[in-house]
Amino acid sequence: GFQALIQFQSRQSAIQAAGALHGRNIYDGCCQLDIQYSKYVFKQFPCFSFVTFNS
C-alpha cells in the first residue's frame, strides 16, 4: 500500500478529517483508507499529524 503523512494546523482539524475519511474507499469497492495517528512529533512543525494507509 501507499503511505502519506498529513499535517494539520490544529488537532481538531485532524480529528475531523480522520473521522470523515477512515474506512472510505478511494475507488468503488477497493483501496480502503486506514487512518492512524502519527507517533512522530516534529519540533519544527508543532501541528497535529496523522498517517494514512490504503490497502
What does the angle CA 27 – CA 32 – CA 35 come to, to the nearest 5 degrees? 130
More confident: 28 or 8: 28
Tell me which amino acid residue 25 is.
N
**Residue pair 51/7 in contact by the 8 Å Cβ criterion:** no
**pLDDT for residue 20:** 93
**pTM score > 0.75 for this model?**
no
pLDDT tens digits, one per residue of 9-55? 777 888 898 899 899 998 998 888 888 877 766 655 555 555 555 55
- pLDDT given for residue 39 in this prediction: 72
Q: How far apart are the first and last CA of the chain?
A: 5
Cell, residue 21:
475519511
